[in-house]
């Protein structure tokens, strides 16, 4: 079956009949095709071929490629987010939760490079509103980082600190995806964890976490 489907086994509902399922099929196809061909090179014809639907069905649901991409992107974010939340237990200490969340994203990206490219790289090619959606998604994830402020013992950290953390992590992931190394992302997990934690806990403690994760994985 399809990769997008495989990456979301617990939450992905795959109805096989009715118009709703056709819409979902088109959205999943959009994510896959954009991830492999690039947004600019992707045509509506590519998407309906991948989805196995007709042109009429496509235009019944979407005005054009762009509108379909935005809907597909929203779906992608919801799925990744649901997966992260499902793997993070709010009872756990902050450090453990952050590690679990990051590991979930990295593993998702590694098994589904096309989804990863669409999520991180190709979204930049899809216009200002797509980039806005990307930033909104990043902000949703960085909200979870905010609790790390408590580790600073009342010291004043910059307001933007979670954005720094997210920028460092997504920059590293972007480079790997651009170089076609999605499958090797899990090997980078220790570095990614260091990047995410270091603004909050400093290099010494972040390096300890990095070594711990490197041994565990």
Question: Judged by CB under 8 A, which stretch of 50-58, 70-78, 93-101, 184-192 contacts other proteins?
Answer: 184-192
C-alpha angle 48/51/57, rounded to 5°?
Answer: 55
In angstroms, what is the minimal distance from the CB of 124 to other proteins? 3
* Residue 160, token pair as written in the block: 């933007």
CB nearer to other proteins: give 16 or 155: 155
Nearest one of 65, 13, 62 to 41, comparing CA atoms: 65
Q: Is residue 35 near other proteins by the rule CB under 8 A?
A: no
Does residue 108 contact residue 185 with C-beta atoms inside 8 Å? no
Q: Which of 113, 200, 209, 213 binds other proteins (CB under 8 A)?
A: 200
In angstroms, what is the minimal distance from the CB of 121 to other proteins? 7
In angstroms, what is the minimal distance from the CB of 9 to other proteins? 31
In angstroms, what is the minimal distance from the CB of 210 to other proteins? 7
CB nearer to other proteins: give 5 or 214: 214
How many chain residues are in contact with other proteins, going by CB under 8 A?
Answer: 46
Q: Is residue 165 near other proteins by the rule CB under 8 A?
A: yes
CB nearer to other proteins: give 38 or 186: 38
Q: Is residue 18 near other proteins by the rule CB under 8 A?
A: no
CB nearer to other proteins: give 25 or 77: 77
Cα separation values, 180 from 93, 132, 177, Å: 34, 25, 5
Does residue 195 contact residue 172 with C-beta atoms inside 8 Å? yes
CB nearer to other proteins: give 7 or 170: 170
Left if phi > 0, otherwise alpha if psi is -120 to 50, otherwise beta: which for 38?
left
**How far apart, in whole angstroms, are the C-alpha atoms of residue 72 and residue 41?**
17
Q: Which of 160, 184, 208, 217 binds other proteins (CB under 8 A)?
A: 160
**Sign (positive or negative) of CA dihedral 84, 89, 90, 93:** negative
Q: Which of 164, 182, 185, 189 binds other proteins (CB under 8 A)?
A: 164
With a CB cutoff of 8 Å and minimum separation 6, the contacts of 80 are 105, 108, 119, 137
Question: Judged by CB under 8 A, which stretch of 47-55, 78-86, 103-111, 165-173 contacts other proteins?
Answer: 165-173
Nearest one of 60, 40, 38 to 48, comparing CA atoms: 60
């Amino acid at each position: 079956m399809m990769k997008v489907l495989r990456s979301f086994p617990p939450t992905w509902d795959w109805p096989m009949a009715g118009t709703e399922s056709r819409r979902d099929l088109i959205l999943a196809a959009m994510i896959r095709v954009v991830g492999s061909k690039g947004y600019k090179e992707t045509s509506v014809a590519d998407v309906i071929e991948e989805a196995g639907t007709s042109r009429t069905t496509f235009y019944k649901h979407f005005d054009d490629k762009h509108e379909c991409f935005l809907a597909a992107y929203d779906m992608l974010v919801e799925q990744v987010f649901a997966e992260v939340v499902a793997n993070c237990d709010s009872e756990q200490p902050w450090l453990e939760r952050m590690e679990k969340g990051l590991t979930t994203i990295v593993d998702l990206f590694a098994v589904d490079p096309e989804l990863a490219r669409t999520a991180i790289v190709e979204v930049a090619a899809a216009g200002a509103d797509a980039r806005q959606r990307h930033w909104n998604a990043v902000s949703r994830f960085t909200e979870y980082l905010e609790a790390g402020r408590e580790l600073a013992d009342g010291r004043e950290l910059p307001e933007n600190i979670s954005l720094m953390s997210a920028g460092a992590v997504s920059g590293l992931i972007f480079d790997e995806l651009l170089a076609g190394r999605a499958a090797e992302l899990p090997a980078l997990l220790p570095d990614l964890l260091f990047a995410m934690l270091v603004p909050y806990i400093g290099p010494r403690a972040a390096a300890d976490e990095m070594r711990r994760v490197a041994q565990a994985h």
